[in-house]
Homo-oligomer: A and B are copies of this chain.
Amino acid sequence: MLLHPEEQMKIIQKGAESIVDEKELMIKLEKSFKEQRPLTIKLGLDPSAPDIHIGHAVVLRKIKQMQDLGHHAVILIGDFTGRIGDPTGKAKGRTALSDEQVKENAITYTDQIFRVLDQEKTTVRFNSEWLSNMTFEEVIRLAASTSVARILERDDFQKRYHNQTPIGLHEFFYPLMQAQDSVELKADIELGGTDQTFNILMGRTLQKHVGMEKQIAIFMPLLEGLDGVEKMSKSLGNYIGVQEPAEVMFKKVMEVPDQLIIKYFELTTDVHPDDVQNIKNRLDHGENPRDIKLELAGHITALYHGKEGMNAGKHYFETAFQQRDIPDVIPEILVDLEKDLLADVIPQLIEARFVKSKSELVRLIRQNGVSLNQQKITAEELDRVVMNDDVLKIGKKRFVKFVK
């Protein structure tokens, strides 16, 4: 049932930033193939995480691909630290959660995760199961597996130490807990973003320390958001949520900057690496990125909403946005932005043949046929100040855009 190791390796490598280390992974894949025994793939998640977007889903997608190859996922909810909160009381939002809250968060969370993962091939575990039972003596033994200098190597700790920003001694335990989780789960592979490098490698160290085969670390790159610059994040508004409606999702993918098309194919779809290579070739040969982005939007929307959702998204996009998105069919009207009212610019609208007269415009408004930035307007709104990039629309095809 498992694919040949070389074939698996090709799929696993797609989009990965780095794998530590590939040779060891190959040995694990070969052994697993020979024994037809699935590998255990670990992903640790913080139960306080918010709604999942397709940036978060990069690691989940990779795991899904490995599930499709026959392997088994363990989602490790880090509830132990959640229950403790921030013992210094300094970190806001790290107040201790009750058992019920943790369970509740976990349910909301796994609901979203199973929009990506194969529930049949996934186990959900909570690390309080073993961490809360550890004695001081066991903690001491755990601590003895590493040195202070080693932990201080972690980028953020090093910066804080040198800037004299206090590091609570308890913080040194978080990488160790994550490592202990790998020991308990006998993880073969752990996935994470590149910001998790230190913590995941600590798992290898600890597994070796206790005489276990070392897990393979697969680091996935961080995904830039729709602005093409910043890491995808809800607070920056440059995200595509996995729970967003098909129409919104499709339209947002169409906003992905051209230079990120291939990266999105690699990190946010399950398209086979050979096919991604073909798409790259097509782009390199001058094919319109817009057409390829339509395929990308189709793939992504289908992943979360099925074929039907994908079609709905595409139809909506083509009818409501496609024309507006072609700049040369939108006449631009120069106005005194943030001073002119809509009523003031009617002469220009007539001149641009957008409407024949003021009375025609008022009539169309009353017939509910005019919208400003996709919102129908009433006649009172003619007294509204015109802003940059405001788009006025009549019917389905007549557009005009105000600029300075």
**Residues of chain A at the chain B interface (Cβ within 8 Å):** 80, 83-84, 86-88, 131-141, 143-149, 151-152, 157, 161, 164, 166-173, 176
Known contacts A84-B140, A87-B141, A140-B87; is A146 also within 8 Å of B169 by CB?
yes
State in angstroms the CA–CA spacing of A83 and B136 once bound together: 12
Distance A83 CA – B138 CA, assembled complex (angstroms): 12
List chain B residues, Cβ under 8 A from A148: 148, 152, 157, 161, 166-169, 171-172
In the complex, which residues of chain B have a beta carbon less than 8 angstroms from the beta carbon of A164? Answer: 149
B residues in contact with A171, CB < 8 Å: 148
Residues of chain B with a CB closer than 8 A to A87's CB: 140-141, 143-144
State A164–B147 Cα separation when bound (angstroms).
11
Asked if B167 and A169 sit within 8 Å, CB to CB, the answer is: no
CA distance A132 to B135 in the complex (A): 7
Contact indicator A131/B141 (Cβ below 8 Å): no
CB of A216, distance to nearest CB on chain B (Å): 25
- Chain B residues within 8 Å of A152, by CB: 148
* Contact in complex: B168, A147 (CB < 8 Å): yes
**Residues of chain B lying within 8 A (CB to CB) of residue A149:** 161, 164, 166-167
With both beta carbons as reference points, the residue of chain B lying nearest to A139 in the complex is identified as B139
Is A143 touching B84 in the complex (CB atoms < 8 A)? no
How far, in whole Å, are A169 and B138 apart by their CA atoms in the complex? 13
B83 touches A140 (CB 8 A): no
Could you say which of B86, B88, B144 contacts A169, with CB atoms under 8 Å apart?
B144
Bound-state CA distance A170–B169 (Å) is: 11
Q: Identify 9 new A-B residue pairs, CB closer than 8 A, beyond the known A141-B170, A147-B167.
A: A131-B136, A135-B136, A136-B136, A136-B138, A139-B139, A140-B173, A144-B169, A147-B166, A151-B169
